[in-house]
Amino acid sequence: MDDRKGEVGMNEIHEVDTYGFVRLVDAMGDDMSVVKAARVSYGNESKGEKEDQKLIQYLMNHNHGTPFEHIVFTFHIKCPIFVARQWFRHRIGSFNEISGRYTELCTEFHIPEMFRENKTANHQASIAGDFSEDDVASMRTEWDYALDIVESTYHSLLEKGVAREQARAILPLGTYTEFYWTVNLRSLFNFLSLRTADDAQEEMRDYANVVKEISKEWAEWCFEAFESQP
């Protein structure tokens, strides 16, 4: 590993929302890993900082992706289930998630800072809701009431002896889950291009932006090339 990187950001908790976080638990490689992988065909490694940086930009511009697979990250993520389910759609990576069969799940639930409404021009996107203060107060009351019922029922079922694998079925998509995610930089760039886009779901985008800020400290040249793409 390049001495410039050391242990930058390793194991630091980066809070995302009320209960969620992103934590980098392991990393392999840096900018020079990409350079060495790209030049191995010619028996070369570094040609100096300027030429190495130009090479990374060339690889990115011409979609030569395999050298970027030689940088690998492992993240520990805590997020609402509805965010995790979007995350897991990115299949070129490895996931291990906490099990509601083996452990009692923590009843921490996502509570929105504001309510949005569907965008008429794009049914996959949303915009700030045009709700009155009374509407918002009423919706928050309903939201909190539903979560109180779910939480008390879940614990009651467990106390009565219902199996964890059954009792978990009543928990909502806003329940927080935890997982480990190992991903190479090429796949991470694909994830970031989709999940930091303006039309990505806001909660998903918040997590993706934190992942991006952590990762770019390990591969600054690679991210400069990635961010320069139209």
Give the residue numbers marked as catalytic: 195
Contact, 204 vs 191, CB < 8 A? no
Single-letter amino acid, residue 105: L
Contact indicator for 175, 81 with CB cutoff of 8 Å = yes
DSSP code of 164? Answer: H
What is the C-alpha to C-alpha distance for residues 208 and 148, in angstroms, rounded to an integer? 30
Residues with Cβ within 8 Å of residue 127, at least 6 apart in sequence: 116, 117, 119
Instruction: Determine the 3-state secondary structure of 211 from DSSP.
Output: helix
C-alpha closest to that of 98 among 21, 178, 163, 181: 178
SS3 17: coil
Give dist(CA 185, CA 70) in Å, integer.
Answer: 7
From residue 44, give the alpha-carbon distance in Å to each of 47, 100, 112, 128, 222: 8, 50, 52, 53, 19
